[in-house]
């Protein structure tokens, strides 16, 4: 199947493929195997920070078959367009108790690091997690504003603004099946 933007609603945006569907699939399997190896024999709660991580999370949890895991979700807001506001707001909290448990916090992308840093502290202090590990599909270390690095990382990327595979630009492109970059000279409107 052709995943490129030819003859799709994405075409007018001048999207360029940055990481292919196949490359993502292979890396997600490796991340799942690494998590299984580290947590083997223990239980973990995998927590997705919505919305951006929803596709990654769905693929990751289905690639984990050797662990007893439970799943939960929270949501945060910090972005307007392509710029972080620097203030992280939790707009949906966990439904399950993670008190005394191992949590694997799953994020689409680690950019300034403000969201992940805030959530890790929040899970320890407000939810009394025993241990919080972090798993991100994408990491932009050059953009970091706090000292944090993920326990599990899919791909390190440069500081391009990327979309697709759950990631959005103003709520668009989440359904793109690969990671793409928008051509700034294309004008969809
Ligand atoms: P941070 O707090 O700056 O690390 O940003 C984390 C959140 O910003 C992510 O969960 C994304 O939702 C969003 N974000 C950061 N960079 C990008 C990008 O390149 N494309 C889409 N969303 C992004």
Tens digit of each residue's pLDDT (9 = 90 or more) over 47-58: 999 999 999 999
Give the mean pLDDT of the chain: 91
* Cα of 66 from ligand 1 centre, angstroms: 30
Task: Give the position of tokens 């990671």.
Answer: 179
Alpha-carbon distance of 16 to 144, in angstroms, equals: 24
- Active site residues per annotation: 111
pLDDT at 9: 77
> 58: which DSSP letter?
H
pLDDT at 6: 53
CB of residue 54 inside a 6 A radius of ligand 1: no
* Cα of 46 from ligand 1 centre, angstroms: 19
* Cα of 144 from ligand 1 centre, angstroms: 11
Question: Do 78 and 115 contact (CB within 8 A), yes or no?
Answer: yes
Which is it for strands 179-181 and 162-163: parallel, antiparallel or unpaired? antiparallel
CB of residue 75 inside a 6 A radius of ligand 1: no
The ligand 1 atom at the shortest distance from the C-alpha of residue 161 is: 19
CB of residue 48 inside a 6 A radius of ligand 1: no
What's the pTM value of the predicted model, to 2 decimals?
0.91
Q: Length of the chain in residues, anyone?
A: 189
**H helix intervals, 99-186:** 114-125
């Amino acid at each position: 199947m052709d995943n490129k933007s030819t003859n799709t609603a994405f075409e007018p945006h001048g999207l360029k493929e940055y990481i292919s569907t196949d490359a993502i699939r292979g890396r997600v399997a490796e991340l799942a195997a690494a998590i299984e190896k580290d947590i083997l024999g223990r239980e973990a709660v995998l927590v997705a920070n919505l919305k951006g991580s929803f596709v990654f999370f769905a693929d990751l949890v289905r690639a984990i078959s050797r662990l007893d895991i439970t799943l939960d979700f929270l949501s945060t807001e910090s972005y307007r367009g392509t710029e972080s506001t620097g203030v992280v707001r939790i707009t949906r909290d966990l439904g399950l108790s993670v008190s005394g448990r191992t949590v694997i916090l799953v994020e689409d992308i680690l950019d300034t690091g403000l969201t992940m840093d805030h959530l890790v502290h929040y899970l320890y202090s407000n939810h009394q997690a025993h241990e919080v590990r972090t798993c991100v599909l994408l990491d932009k270390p050059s953009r970091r504003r706090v000292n944090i690095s993920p326990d599990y990382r899919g791909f390190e990327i440069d500081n391009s603004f990327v979309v697709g595979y759950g990631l959005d630009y103003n709520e668009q492109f989440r359904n793109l099946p690969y990671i793409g970059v928008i051509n700034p000279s294309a004008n969809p409107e």
